[in-house]
Amino acid sequence: MKTILGRDHPLAVSGFAGPALILFGVFVLLPLLLAAAATFTNHRLVSPEPTRYIGLDNYTRLLALQVTTVAPLRDAAGDLQRDEEGLRYPTWRQVRQARPELAGYRPAWQFELGERRVVLAATDPLFYRSLINTFLFALLVLPLQCGVALGLALLVNQRMAGRIFFRTVYFAPVVTSMVVASIVWSFMLNTDRGLVNELLRALTGNPDAGPDWLGESSHALLAIAIMSAWQGAGFQMLVFLAGLQSISSELYEAATLMGANAWQRFVHVTLPGLRNTIVFVLVSTMLMAFGLFTQVDVMTSGGPLDSTTTVVYHAVRSGFRQQDIGYGSTITVVFFGIVLLVSLLQRVLLAKGANK
Amino acid sequence: MKLVLSPLLAIFASHALAAPVEIKAWRHDTGDAEMVASGRMVERFNRSQDRWKVVVESIPQGSYTESVTAASLVGHLPCVMTIDQPAVPNFAWAGNIRPLDDLLPAAVVAPLLPGGRGVYDGRLYSVGQFDVVLALFARRSALAREGVRVATIEQPYTAQELYAIAAKAKRAGRYRFPLDLNGKAKGEWVSYGFSPWFQSAGADLIDRADYRRVDGVLNGAPALGVARYYARLFKERLAERNPADEKGFEQGRSLIQYTGSWKARDYAERFGDDLAVMPPPDFGHGPRVGAASWQWAIARNCRHPEGAAAFLAHVVSAPEMAAMSRATGLIPVTEEAAALTERYRPGGEGRIYFDFTARYAVPRPATPAYPAISAAFEKAMSDLRGGKDPDEAMDEAVEAIEYDIARNNGYRNIHAREAARK
């Protein structure tokens, strides 16, 4: 008599799932738990002193936040002091000496509201800057990269000579190492002799044209976003291409027979046909954008003025370069929570969209 | 070498019949010339006696410190390793390396200039063969064309003078960025290159009396003066924030370059007599340069410290030092070794660098907090380049350093106290 195990039999299930679960446990779950445990300690990479339990200290240092306002400086007569950049404000250290409750806080974000300066102060302002930058990057790169990818996919899906060649060309940046791409791009974006600025100078005829792409806080993140979109778009292009080719050509023929022009075919046949592909591409691009690290590390080191520092970069800098493993783990665990929330939110929104 | 080694060899002679004991060593991988010279040095040691055999593994310099840190965490440090000197106190504090005072004969250690020693808490932890210095490089012909004098040891440029020269050259229009501050280099270069400016103004990275106080030292009036000066160079585009390469000076795109003497040999070959080697700018208390480069240390868990010590004694002997200097152009750190080289002996063409070290060298603060200090300082300087308010930038660095010191309980020297208790 022989036993035939059904596909639903517990033994069969565990037999198939077991190896994957073991690997998952050892390489994903265990490190996560270890990191979570480290967040409650002052564990250091290099230290002769034993690791101590410090409760929620790491979390309060990471997340503590206060909003405060600072009045501008006045001279002896009580008039407002000004210099070439406008009103003069006391330095943060002076502010804090006057207000002891702000001890340990530093400004993360500030803007002028009339004559007063509103300051968002945190014990780790760099974390909030990093968080804002990370979301800003995702916001910049998401439409850019997905739009370019869709455009490229439509292009190379045409029945024309040499399309395999173009597919290869557009895909090439994806297989290039990010470090190499970053180095090449930092040459191209160089202020003085970079390709981009030389091009601008030739076009405008102005020898001083061209911004300092990676040296000015207003341009650096945008430059990195454009570069990342260029590097990553080839991959999404392939996914879109697969999606495009799964749309039956009869639908297009029917649409053409009914008198639809190219734009109408795109809106009413292509886009609905690509719905699941688009969802997948958006979600995966978003998650990849949250992991931004290599470009920042190679091209700007988080500068200028923290305008390109990201959460992952901040975690690596705290954990390894400043040797503060406990704190670095706290950053990653908190960020893990945030990313989890964002993906849940996406799921809920998409599920709603699908029910319509 | 014979002279130094003979007492050691006499001790080892009784064991000479056994096969040599292997001693593992790690070193950071640098340029070819230095690696070849280092390899020959090890070969000579292995041939000079048959009790020890040093086996070297080289590790890329970029990830070297991380590799050593990782190895120390799991207790896999080699017997002998190279360490960048400013990081030595941190390694000593962490208990990874051992003091050399009892291991190396006084005759070996005594001649070493400060650039050849790594000291923490009054004890010697590492010894080195060579040093580098900072200098201003320019071409005499280019300076003459701009109507600028050549600075000398007797009369270095003041900071204001250097600024005026750069501003004038910029106005004349021949240079888009007249000053080259070696801006492509990152990491330790920033602290190595620019903390001497602060020291020259009478400031410092930390109060060296107790290595605790930073407030008022790194953000006091003299320090802020230098910070403003540095920020202005970039704001007025006298120096480039993100250079594309390190060849600005060689290709004539900048008038004056501020960098380390590691460039000296290339420039001397390229420009010959036209090359002007000048002291760094004077911010009020005379020019300053950082002291000490990569050095050798012995791991605490090394099972053959006497063999490792014999190797280190070989490394810092005058002939070895001179051989390394000849192969790489780096500056030897004893008078005796300098006298053995063409370049650095009195009257030699590189003697000026040796004079710079002797006159201007200030070691970086010998505290385990140095990696944190250096990181905070680098961040502040990078923010200044980006246009941050100098007061805020320096205040932030002070706070980052104070926080780190507090988080490490003031970096108490646990091993010294344990030793005292025994």
ipTM given for this complex: 0.78
Q: Which residues of A touch B238 (CB under 8 A)?
A: none
How far is Cα B64 from Cα A79, in angstroms, rounded to an integer? 57
Q: Do B383 and A45 touch (CB under 8 A)?
A: no
Contact B275, B58 (CB under 8 A): no
Is residue A48 within 8 Å of B415, Cβ to Cβ?
A: yes
Mean pLDDT of B180-195: 89
Please name the residue that has the structure tokens 């409760």.
A55
Q: Which residues contact A37 (CB under 8 A, 6 or more apart)?
A: none
Which of B191, B219, B242 to mutate against chain A (most A CBs within 10 Å)?
B242
List the single residue in B72, B186, B392 with the smallest CB-CB distance to A92.
Answer: B392
Question: What's the pLDDT score for residue B80?
Answer: 95
C-alpha–C-alpha distance, residues B331 and B325, integer Å: 6
Q: Looking at the predicted structure, is the pLDDT value of residue B106 above 80?
A: yes
**Which of A322, A324, A325, A330 to mutate: most B Cβ within 10 Å?**
A322
| The two structure tokens encoding residue A261 | 């022009």
The three-state secondary structure class of B82 is: strand
Closest in A42, A193, A306 to B407, CB measured:
A42
Q: Is B237 left (phi over 0), alpha (psi -120 to 50) or beta?
A: left
* Distance, C-alpha A169 to centroid of its chain: 26
d(CA B119, CA A103): 35
**Which residues have C-beta within 8 Å of that of residue B387, sequence separation ≥ 6?**
A217, A304, A305, B231, B234, B235
**Contact indicator for B91, B297 with CB cutoff of 8 Å:** yes
> Cβ contact (<8 Å) for A217 and B386?
yes
Gap from B91 CA to chain A (nearest CA, Å): 8
Which helix or strand (DSSP H or E) is residue B81 part of? strand B80-84
CB < 8 Å to B174, chain A? none
CB nearest A49 (choices: B69, B91, B409): B409
Nearest CA of chain B to the CA of A79: how many Å?
A: 23
Q: How many CB pairs under 8 A join A and B?
A: 86
| B197 and B283 Cβ atoms separated by less than 8 Å | yes
For chain A, count helices (H), then strands (E).
16, 5
Are the C-beta atoms of residues B382 and A300 closer than 8 Å to each other? no
- pTM: predicted TM-score of the whole model, two decimal places: 0.84
CB atoms within 10 A of CB B18: 8
List, in order, residues 6 or more apart from A50 with CB less than 8 Å away. Answer: none
How many Å lie between the alpha carbon of B344 and the closest alpha carbon of chain A? Answer: 37
Residue A217 and residue A329 in contact, taking contact as beta carbons nearer than 8 Å: no
Nearest Cβ partner for A303 among B375, B386, B399: B386
Closest chain B C-alpha to A56 CA, distance in angstroms: 15
Nearest-Cα distance to chain B for A186, in Å, is 8
pLDDT of A163: 81
Closest-CA distance of chain B to residue A22, Å: 25
Q: Which residues pair with B21 in a beta bridge?
A: B52
Q: Using one digit for the tens of pLDDT, what is the confidence trace for B344-372?
A: 988 888 889 988 888 898 989 999 999 88
Peptide bond into A50 cis (omega under 30): no
Q: What is the mean pLDDT of residues B25-53?
A: 91
pLDDT at B18: 65
pLDDT in the model for residue A161: 81
Chain B residue with minimal CA distance to A193? B244
Cα separation of A141 and A134, whole Å? 10
**pLDDT of amino acid B4:** 52
Chain A residues lying within 8 Å of B224, measured CB to CB: none
- CB contact under 8 Å between B382 and A301, yes or no, is yes
Structure token pair of residue B45: 């040691």
Alpha-carbon gap, residue B131 to B364, rounded angstroms: 13
Give the list of residues 6+ apart from residue B303 with CB closer than 8 angstroms, or none: B79
Out of B72, B244, B412, name the one closest to residue A193 (CB).
B244
**In terms of CA atoms, which chain B residue is nearest residue A305?**
B383
Identify the CA nearest to B393 among candidates B245, B180, B234: B234
Decide if B137 contacts B275 (C-beta within 8 A): yes
pLDDT of amino acid B12: 52
For residues A277 and A244, what is the distance between their CA atoms, to the nearest angstrom?
9
Q: Distance between CA atoms of A171 and A160, rounded to whole angstroms?
A: 18
Q: Are B202 and B279 in contact (CB under 8 A)?
A: no
Kindly state the percentage of chain A with pLDDT values over 70: 97
For residue A88, the chain B residues in CB contact (below 8 A) are none
As a whole number of angstroms, the distance between CA B340 and CA A68 comes to: 66
Instruction: Kindly list the residues from chain B whose CB atom is less than 8 angstroms away from the CB atom of residue A191.
Output: 240-242
DSSP state for residue A319 in the 8-state scheme:
I
Give me the phi and psi of B57, to 5 degrees please.
-110, 135
Give the Cα separation of B177 and B234 in Å (integer): 9
pLDDT at B241: 86
Q: Which of B240, B388, B404 sits opposite A191 (nearest CB)?
A: B240
List the structure tokens of A304.
């200028």
The torsion defined by the Cα of B404, B405, B409 and B411, in degrees rounded to 10, comes to 120
First-last CA distance in chain A: 53
Return the closest-CA partner of residue B138 out of B284, B275, B285.
B275
Question: Which distant-in-sequence residues (6+ apart) come within 8 Å of A142 by Cβ?
Answer: A282, A285, A286, A289
Residues of A within 8 A of B90 (CB-CB) are 46
CB contact under 8 A, A323 and B388: no
pLDDT computed for residue B1 by the predictor: 45
The span from the CA of B295 to the CA of B383, in Å, is: 31
Q: Which residues of B touch A186 (CB under 8 A)?
A: 242, 244
Kindly identify which residue of chain A lies nearest to residue B388, measuring between CA atoms. A305
CA nearest neighbour of B162 among B176, B148, B152, B174: B148
Q: Which one-letter DSSP state was computed for residue A119?
A: E
Which residue of A48, A194, A301 is in closest CB contact with B93?
A: A48
Block means of pLDDT (10 residues each) for chain A, 356 residues, are: 70 88 93 92 82 88 88 80 76 81 82 84 89 93 93 86 85 90 90 86 82 85 93 92 90 90 90 89 90 90 87 89 87 93 86 65
Q: Which one of A62, A92, A93, A214 makes the best mutation probe of the B interface by having the most chain B beta carbons within 10 Å?
A: A93
Tens-place pLDDT, residues B136-177:
999 999 999 999 999 999 999 999 999 999 999 999 988 989
DSSP output for A221-258? HHHHHHHHHHHHHHHHHHHHHHHHHHS-HHHHHHHHHT
- Name the closest residue on chain A to residue B376, using Cα atoms: A322
Residue B185 tokens, joined: 């280099």
Contact B315, B105 (CB under 8 A): no
Whether A134 and A295 have beta carbons less than 8 Å apart is answered as no
Which member of A192, A214, A321 has the closest CB to residue B177? A192
Cβ of B385 within 8 Å of Cβ of A324? The answer is no
- Distance of residue A172 Cα from the nearest chain B Cα, in angstroms: 25
A120: region left, alpha or beta (phi > 0 left; psi from -120 to 50 alpha): beta
Q: Are B279 and B151 in contact (CB under 8 A)?
A: yes
pLDDT of residue B291: 86
The answer to whether the Cα torsion of A349, A350, A352, A353 is positive or negative is positive
pLDDT for position A143: 93
Residue B123 bridge partners (DSSP)? B120
Quick one: pLDDT at residue B66?
Answer: 80
A-chain CB neighbours of B414 within 8 Å are 48-49
- What is the rounded distance in angstroms from the CA atom of residue B253 to the CA atom of residue B265? 20
Could you tell me if B357 and B331 are in contact, meaning their C-beta atoms sit under 8 angstroms apart? yes
CA A331/CA A329 separation, integer angstroms: 5
Residue B272 CB-density burial (10 A; 0-12 exposed, 13-18 middle, 19+ buried): exposed
Q: Give A211's contacts in chain B (Cβ within 8 Å).
A: none
Q: What confidence score (pLDDT) does residue B139 get? A: 95
Instruction: Determine the distance in angstroms separating the CA of B240 from the nearest CA of chain A, rounded to an integer.
Output: 8
Q: What is the pLDDT of residues B234-252, one digit of tens each?
A: 999 999 888 878 888 999 9
Q: With contact defined as beta carbons under 8 Å apart, do B351 and B345 qualify?
A: yes
**Closest approach of A214 to chain B, Cα-based (Å):** 8
- A103: nearest CA partner in chain B: B399
Question: Distance between CA B147 and CA B169 in Å, rounded?
Answer: 9
For B119, list phi and psi in degrees, rounded to 5.
-115, 140
Q: How far is CA B212 from the centre of its chain?
A: 23
**pLDDT band at B2; cut points 50, 70, 90:** very low
